[in-house]
Chains A and B, each alone.
Chain A
Amino acid sequence: MANDISFTIDGVEVAAAPGQTIIEAAEAAGIYIPRLCHKPGLEPFGGCRVCTVKSNGRPCSACTQPVAPGMVVENDTEELRALRRDLVELLFVEGNHFCMFCEKSGHCELQALAYRFGIAAPRFDYTWPARQVDMSHPDILVDHNRCILCGRCVRTSRQVDGKNVFQFVGRGHEKRLAVNAEADLGATDAAVTDAAVGACPVGALLKKRIGFATPVGRRPYDERPIGTDIETAAARKE
Chain B
Amino acid sequence: MAASHPPTVPQICATFGNDPTRLVDIARQVQETYGHVGPASIDAIGRALRIPRVEVESLVTFYSFLSKQPKGRVVIRLCNDIIDRMHGFDQVLAAFTAELGIGVGQTSSDGITLETTACIGLCDQAPAALVNDVPVTELNSDRARQIVRELRKHMDPKQLVTKLGDGNNAHELVRSMVRNNIRRHSDAEGGDNGAEPRIVLSPHAPPEALRKALSISPAEVIRAIKTSRLRGRGGAGFPTGIKWEFTRAAPGARKVVICNADEGEPGTFKDRVLLTERPDRVFAGMTIAGYAIGAHEGILYLRAEYAYLRPFLEMVLQRRRQAGLLGPDLLGKGKHTFDIRIQMGAGAYVCGEETALITSCEGRRGDPKNRPPFPAQRGYLGLPTTVNNVETLCAVTKIMEEGSATFCEHGSKQSSGTKLLSISGDCLRPGVYEVVFGTPLRRVLAMAGAENAAAVQIGGPSGQMVGRDHYDRTICFDDLATGGAMMVFGPQRNLLEVVHAFLDFFADESCGFCTPCRVGTVQLKRLIEKVMAGRGEPADLETMEQIGRTMKTASRCGLGQTAANPVLSTLKNFRPVYMGLVHTDPDGYRRGFDLEGAVRTSETLTGRASIHV
Contacts and interface: CB of A to CB of B under 8 A. Distances in A.
Given A44-B370, A87-B516, A175-B512, A124 B556 contact: no
A181 B555 CA distance: 31
Nearest to A182: B39
A201 to B, nearest CB: 13
Pick the most buried of A48, A168, A181: most chain B CB atoms within 10 A of its CB: A168
Contact of B522 (A49, A127, A148, A178): A127
A49 B54 contact: no
Instruction: Point out which of B62, B518, B527 has the most chain A C-beta atoms below 10 A from its C-beta.
Output: B518
Nearest to A48: B515
A49 B551 CA distance: 10
A180 B53 contact: yes
Contact of B550 (A86, A171, A181): A86
Nearest to A172: B510
Nearest to A44: B370
Q: How large is the interface on A (under 10, 10 to 19, 20 to 34, 35 or more residues)?
A: 35 or more
A52 interface: yes
A171 B527 contact: no
A181 B512 contact: no
A236 interface: no
B58 interface: yes
Contacts of A66: 372
A123 interface: yes
Contact of B62 (A65, A93, A127, A171): A171
B510 A173 contact: yes
B346 to A, nearest CB: 11
In this complex, the member of B58, B509, B549 whose beta carbon has the largest number of chain A beta carbons within 10 angstroms is: B58
A63 to B, nearest CB: 9
B553 A59 contact: yes
Interface string A149-186: 10000000000000010111111111100111110000
Contacts of A123: 543
B554 interface: yes
Most buried by B among A48, A50, A164, A182: A182
A46 interface: yes
Interface string B499-514: 0000000011111111
Contact of A49 (B2, B543, B554): B554
Contacts of A87: 515-516, 550, 554
A52 B552 CA distance: 12
Contacts of B365: 168, 171
B514 A172 contact: no
Nearest to B516: A49
Interface in B351-373: 365, 370, 372
B512 A90 contact: no
B519 A93 contact: yes
B101 interface: no
Nearest to A169: B61
A166 to B, nearest CB: 7
B205 to A, nearest CB: 43
Interface of B: 2, 39, 42-43, 52-55, 57-58, 61-62, 348, 365, 370, 372, 507-516, 518-523, 526-527, 543, 546-547, 549-550, 553-556
Interface of A: 44, 46-50, 52, 59, 61, 64-66, 79, 82-83, 86-87, 90-91, 93-94, 123-125, 127, 148-149, 164, 166-175, 178-182
6 contacts: A61-B370, A61-B556, A82-B550, A90-B516, A168-B58, A179-B54
- What 6 A-B pairs have minimum CB-CB distances, sorted nearest first? A175-B512, A164-B52, A90-B519, A172-B510, A180-B54, A167-B54
Given A170-B61, A171-B511, A182-B43, 11 more contacts: A49-B515, A61-B556, A86-B546, A86-B550, A94-B518, A167-B54, A168-B365, A169-B54, A171-B365, A171-B512, A173-B518
